[in-house]
A and B are shown apart, each in its own frame.
Chain A
Amino acid sequence: MSFNIYQLFDNRLLRTLVVFGCLVLCVWMLAWLLKPVLLPIIISLVLYALFKPWVNRMVRGGRTRSSAALMVLITIVGINGSLLAVLVPEVMTSLSTLSPRVQRLALIGEDLFAAFSSFAERLQLPFETSQWLTSVKGRLVSLDIESILASGNTVLGVLANLILVPFLTFFIVRDYPKFRNRLMNTVPNKYFELAWHIYFRVIRQLQSYVRGLLIQLTIMALISALGFWLTGFSSPLTLGILVGLFGIIPWLGPLLGTIPPLLQILSTTEPQLIQIIYIFVVIGIAYFIDNMFVVPLFIANVVSLHPLFVIIGVIIFGGLFGVAGMVLAIPAIVVVKLLITGLYQGLAIQTGSYR
């Protein structure tokens, strides 16, 4: 009895998985090729999703796509300039006031580790505490403002992205439909409609997710900043923005959001328990409002994923790609879900290509 490999592809699930695997491989290779500019491309695509309704409104008002893209470019450059002019001095001040505090924290940490080390020695525990101490000290010292500024590559990279992102966004806003149509033209006739169908579903959900996420993070940052301002924290805006930014990371976000204000409190000469309670109250209220009102309004309809899938996805993507993986976990799970269901649905028909 002879075995025909093509018989394997009669199985609908197997065929779905093979096509899905090929697509993942293509995306992986493209990401590898574009690695040096992947981050600005992703940021530009996110900005395109955010600005799309405004671009549509401008086109509806009679502007050409090119002039709408130019308006977006001017807006992004304006926002970048404002952020640099307003936020950078505040962050620099915060960091410079935090810097001596960090040194103090390092000394406290050193004392704690020394105490732990002698305790471990007394109990003859198999820990090499001196190594831990050196590594933790090194990490804390690297928070020093001079060290941050000295890492010229990081600063240059950020500046390059600040310049590159508006221009990439301009071209994406102007030419994205053309690129998309040309790319879709390369799909074979048999899968042409299926490809459009899946693309349409994926892109609609991703764009809604990005817009919902931005609204969610902005609301969270504003509530936190207001809370920190009312409870008398210094640099409440920076702390609020950090809470908002950490909010991108699912599940871990709230925990990470408490770290900057906690550091601020712990590095004062007399840390008070009530201030630590304030931190948890402020972030708790922000997340309560987020979960009760913001998520049901802007996110839940877009991403209907079981919490268990989200937790597992975040752990897997976090393990594979670090913090970036955790941030991209939810949209990646949405894309994988839509791709597999779309392919499974679309590859159901067993008929041939010719009559």
Chain B
Amino acid sequence: MQEVGLVQHPFWHNLFRRSVTLESTIADLWLNTALFDRIARRHCETMVPNMQLRQYGKGEVIFNQGDLGIGVVMILSGSVSISSNGNQLALLSKGDFFGEVALVSDEPRTADAFADQDSELVFFLRPHLIELLEQHPPIASQLMLNLARVLASRLRASNDMLNRTPDSEL
């Protein structure tokens, strides 16, 4: 007798079902971000093997304000606190990304980031973006366009915050 709620698939279903590997999980998370908007899954999956997966213990510094940045970071597990001059700006969790300015610029990091819990982070680095530009220009162009959109929306948010702040507090 078939159990209620349990969907029975034919035996060949598993042959064609995509296995859930770490790489496909990372690709899924990236594809849900604004940075990988309109980028095909297969293209994203070709980029993932180049990305750097790193583990951070609770309280470990990811980068400090003024450090040389080299890429954008996405949280695979755990949470990350972003702060500036001791003030917490954001608490990011699984699937969020930060530090995207370093993808386009050699400028130092503009805030501090540290692991709020034991965390796994995925780094997508500028050298890999440049390799992508050399090897797959249309995909890299879409990524750059997305990046510009993300940076523009962050700039708009900062401007709104500044406009809302009373002059006396500036």
Contacts and interface: CB of A to CB of B under 8 A. Distances in A.
Interface of A: 53, 56, 59-60, 177-178, 181, 184-185, 189-190, 192-194, 196-197, 199-200, 345-346, 348-349, 351-355
Contacts of B70: 193, 196-197, 200
Interface in B56-87: 56-57, 59-64, 66-71
Contacts of B57: 354
Contact of B50 (A56, A181, A345, A355): A181
Contacts of A60: 134-137
Given A181-B50, A184-B52, A192-B52, A351 B135 contact: no
26 contacts: A56-B131, A56-B135, A59-B136, A60-B134, A60-B135, A60-B136, A177-B50, A185-B54, A189-B54, A193-B67, A193-B68, A193-B69, A193-B70, A194-B67, A194-B68, A197-B70, A200-B127, A346-B67, A349-B66, A349-B67, A351-B64, A353-B61, A354-B61, A355-B59, A355-B60, A355-B114
| A-side interface mostly | helix
A350 to B, nearest CB: 9
Contacts of A53: 134
Contacts of A197: 68, 70
Contacts of B94: none
Interface string B95-133: 000000000000000000010000000010111000100
B60 A189 contact: yes
B52 A185 contact: yes
B136 A189 contact: no
Interface of B: 49-50, 52, 54, 56-57, 59-64, 66-71, 114, 123, 125-127, 131, 134-137
Nearest to A351: B64
Nearest to B135: A59
Given A184-B52, A189-B56, A349 B64 contact: yes
Contacts of B56: 189
Contacts of B71: 193, 196
Contacts of A193: 63, 67-71, 123
B61 A352 contact: yes
A200 B52 CA distance: 15
Given A59-B136, A60-B134, A189-B60, 19 more contacts: A56-B134, A60-B135, A177-B50, A181-B49, A192-B52, A193-B71, A196-B70, A196-B125, A196-B127, A199-B127, A200-B70, A200-B126, A348-B66, A349-B64, A351-B64, A352-B61, A353-B60, A354-B60, A355-B60
A354 B68 CA distance: 18
A351 B61 contact: yes
Nearest to A342: B68
Nearest to A350: B64
A83 B68 CA distance: 47
A296 to B, nearest CB: 25
Question: Which 3 pairs across A and B sit closest by C-beta, in order of nearness?
Answer: A56-B134, A59-B135, A196-B70
Contacts of A345: 68
A269 B134 CA distance: 58
A109 B21 CA distance: 76
Nearest to A58: B135
A189 B56 CA distance: 8
Contacts of A190: 61
Contacts of B123: 192-193
A65 B59 CA distance: 40
A184 B64 CA distance: 20
Nearest to B138: A60
A185 B67 CA distance: 19
Contacts of B61: 190, 351-355
Contacts of A196: 70-71, 125, 127
A181 B127 CA distance: 11
B130 to A, nearest CB: 8
B12 to A, nearest CB: 28
Contact of B54 (A56, A192, A349, A351): A192
